[in-house]
Amino acid sequence: MSEIWLTNAWYVAGWDAEVDSKPLARTICGVPMLFYRKLDRGVVAMRDACPHRMLPLSLGLREGDSIRCKYHGLKLGPDGVAQEMPIRTDPVNRKVCAETYVTHERHRFVWVWVGEAALADPALIPDLWPCSSPDWAFDGGYYPVACDYRLMIDNLMDLTHETYVHTGSIGQPELMEAPIETVVENDEVLVRRWMPGIDAPPFWRGALGQEGLVDRWQICRFMLPSAVMIDVGVAPVGAGATLERHDQGVRGMVIDVMTPERATSHHYFWGMARNFQVQDPGFTARFKHQQSGVFIEDVAVLEAQQRSIAANPDLKLSAYRIDEGGVRARQAIDRAIRDSKQVQGGAA
């Protein structure tokens, strides 16, 4: 089976609030890992298998910055190295250890480096800048999704699906009529739509707080290894908004980060950053609730699609013009995997 995700890359392990003193178990790119915070609030990431009898360490007991296996009591430090053997009078064998991983916190997320630790560079974390901007408000949630993470990328890079999947919230027929422009910029893929002089969908009409025709935009940006940031919003017709400059109305950034779990499942971290009503925590809570309802509609469709793919092994996915963004994103992933293999092969 060919590789479907990039190694030597940063993936989101969890929201900052998810990772605390209690161990969090999460499989990342096929590897069971556990995450917890030390007393200084730094994050530990470790293989979730005791090196003794392989009980998940996430079931263990925290002791200071260390963790003790709940089966026979092997105690490991935050560096994964044994600190105390099951028989406590036995000398400590420091060759007994669990693999640990490099982590970094940015944009409200805990990121874990999957690959060679020496290559972990925080500069390679996707630039989700609105999540950290003081001029924007940001929050979101998490769904485990039983489908290939690339199906979610396909979905996010083709927003014409909104017309049918999200009829009662953000969908509208004009999405099927708007011209689509797909651009590849180095390792990033952009899909752009400009919809002038249309009725605002219910979601955006409420955010704008006024009636009348609007100009609407959607700019989807795929970033390696598996993030999509979507610049969306509406402005009143005549306000001067353009595809290039559009701060005249209400603007949001849909934040989507997909972390592969296994070949047919992934962790979906979603959210919305906005530049309006940023000081209203009640609006943030309501907005998050509305957004969760929108995204759970996607989850239902994509999990059904994955089941259909498994049930029809003799068929292949087709790609039409509206799928170009997703196709280009998959090509970027495949290209990065090939390039990574060539670098590793050269180093060997």
pLDDT per position as a tens digit, 244-267: 888 888 899 999 999 999 999 999
- Which pLDDT score is estimated for 268? 98
Q: Taking every pair of C-alpha atoms in the chain, what is the biggest distance, in angstroms?
A: 79
- Which pLDDT score is estimated for 37? 98
Distance CA 285, CA 290 (A): 9
Write down all domains in the chain, each with its CATH number in brackets. Answer: 9-122 (2.102.10.10), 127-340 (3.90.380.10)
- Which pLDDT score is estimated for 303? 98
What parts of the chain have a pLDDT lower than 70?
1, 163-164, 166-176, 345-348
- Which pLDDT score is estimated for 166? 63
Instruction: Decide if 29 contacts 45 (C-beta within 8 A).
Output: no
Q: Residue 101, exposed/middle/buried by CB under 10 A (0-12, 13-18, 19+)?
A: buried
DSSP letter string, 109-125: EEEEEES-GGG--GGGS
- Which pLDDT score is estimated for 341? 83
- Each residue of 275-297: pLDDT tens digit? 888 999 998 999 899 888 888 99
Beta strands in 224-293 (DSSP E): 227-236, 250-262, 265-274
